[in-house]
A and B are shown apart, each in its own frame.
Chain A
Amino acid sequence: MTDWTRRQIGGLVGGALLGVAAPHIARGQGRPRVIVIGGGIGGATVARYLADLKSIDVTLVEPNSTHVTCFFSNLYLAGLRSLASLTFGLETLAERHGITIIRDSAVAIDPAGKGVELQGGPKLSYDRLVVAPGIAFKFGEIGGYDEAAAKIMPHAWIAGPQSELLRRQLKSMDDGGVFVIAAPPNPFRCPPAPYERASLVAYYFKQFKPKSKILILDAKDTFSGQELFQDAWSRHYPGMIEWLPSQFTGAIKAVDVAARSVVTEGETFRAAVANIIPAQKAGLIGEKAGLTDASGWCPVDPVTFESTLQPGIHVVGDSIIGGDMPKSAFSANSQAKACAFAVAASLTGSPHFPPHLFNSCYTFLAPDDAFTNALTFASEGGKIKTVKMFISKVGESAEARRRTAHHAVGWYSAFTADVFGGGS
């Protein structure tokens, strides 16, 4: 974090105090100005693609100095990647792509006045706004589980300190303990990821704590990639992972943090380590700004990603109601590109073509056994609909799975360069 702090417009922040009469920060020399809220996967991609068009002034608002990718964080939990290798600064976006980075949180949006209020004080004005705040948790749906409880029973569903906490707990757990994963109801960030987590932690246990067990208490009765996971669990980790669907348990009702236990309708489970992944909703600024509907997520136009509730404001990534598109980094990146070209078209009259929306995820079952899926989407009747879907099959050769795991590693480095502005 050396150089990009230089670009955190400290002077401007100091000069423009918040208030009704305070002037908005001046727009850059006649170029249209886009503000992007959230420097995660969706927001960084939008900012980068818009800035590279050179005709638009782009400001990215993000409170954290670095982004730790959720994807591959299950490899970290299993001791297969360092957290540092999953951490990206935003400096390349500033230095190579000319994006102004403001390290702050957006606390309010004024759609009529086209302004964004920051926690640090100033108000920024925009011609178009893109909001990409990721997810927030519906604390309270599981009795006793709140932000304080998450410091003892981590969710590790936003990578960073939460991932480190869970890793520490897994490392210090005695052999023979039960690791409980509470898997959330739909829709949630990255549908296969709770089960990838079970697989990779099982890989870790198999080596270091072979008497340990993993219990998945699910809020659902089926899950993404189920056949592939269950096949892998019986091949790699026989007897180690137990999955209990909601129809058996009535799902999780409460946690008892002091007793380290998880309470379902009929039973209480003692956990050596508990990973509670709560139900989710759009990042909080979405709700505050009137971008969410009753579902808790943000409805958008499937071509431009403009909010259907607040014209002039676009939303991409996990926060949206994505129709058939899963909440994944790949989806967020794909939506962000479509959004960037649509925003550019609306501001500069550049041409706009029907977007191609894709998702492709790599999921690890073991370090050398991964599966993949590939989906294409199109807009239909105002919704994003799946056009084609392909997924790895049970019974593929070990060699094919090894190749997929190898591709996953290649994908990770290319993808993060695309998002955070690496490459040449």
Chain B
Amino acid sequence: MQLVRKAATVSRAKGLAAEIRWLLGVSLSAILLFPGNSAAEDGSQGAQIAATCASCHDPAGRGQAIPPIVGMDEQGIVKAMLAFRASESPSLVMHAVALSLTDGELAAMARYLTGKANAGWQP
């Protein structure tokens, strides 16, 4: 973590934090207190990819038919996505999404989602 951050970067992190607040139901203050944490830092790419998730996964985590992704840990998300990438049988949609993301993008997305959840999401 760099100690000195440009104002623009911080405000970007705040914007993204706000954006993800609805996505995961996290507490904004927890993120703003730690603008330099890794989730906020790589949030821009992670957030842009995670925006896709919200087209099917309920941001409030109320999904039943389509399972919630809120509160999953980083490794769990990566593992699930790799399994979806390997097989089309559980879900055509998740197979397609997983195939389209590079390993780097997948990691950024998982880190982003869990970083936000850890920063204040309460089940």
Contacts and interface: CB of A to CB of B under 8 A. Distances in A.
Interface of A: 49, 52-55, 96, 330, 333-334, 337, 341, 348-353, 355-356, 358, 360, 372-376, 387-392, 406-411, 413-415, 417-418, 421, 423-424
A418 B59 contact: yes
27 contacts: A49-B51, A52-B19, A54-B15, A55-B11, A96-B22, A330-B55, A333-B55, A334-B52, A341-B48, A349-B8, A351-B12, A358-B96, A358-B100, A372-B92, A374-B96, A375-B96, A390-B92, A407-B65, A409-B65, A410-B56, A414-B57, A414-B63, A417-B58, A417-B59, A418-B54, A424-B25, A424-B60
A414 B54 contact: yes
Contacts of B12: 55, 348, 350-351
Nearest to A56: B15
Interface of A is mostly: mixed
Interface string B12-46: 10111011011101000000000000000000110
Contacts of A53: 15-16, 18-19
A174 to B, nearest CB: 38
A372 B94 CA distance: 12
A358 B52 contact: yes
B66 interface: yes
A375 B18 CA distance: 30
A388 B95 CA distance: 10
Main secondary structure of the interface of B (DSSP, over half): helix
A375 B45 CA distance: 21
Nearest to B23: A423
Interface in B73-123: 88, 92-93, 95-97, 99-101, 105
Contacts of A406: 65
A374 B105 CA distance: 19
B44 A353 contact: yes
Contacts of B92: 360, 372-374, 390-392
A350 B49 contact: no
A49 B45 CA distance: 14
A168 to B, nearest CB: 31
Given A376-B99, A411-B65, A334 B15 contact: no
A358 B97 contact: yes
Max count, chain A CB within 10 A of own CB: residue among B63, B64, B93, B105: B93
A337 B52 contact: yes
Contacts of B51: 49, 337, 341
A228 B98 CA distance: 25
A49 B47 CA distance: 11
A241 B99 CA distance: 38
Contact of B60 (A375, A409, A423): A423
B88 A390 contact: yes
B32 to A, nearest CB: 12
Given A350-B12, A390-B95, 15 more contacts: A53-B16, A54-B18, A55-B11, A349-B8, A350-B15, A350-B44, A351-B12, A355-B48, A356-B100, A356-B101, A360-B93, A391-B92, A414-B58, A414-B66, A423-B23
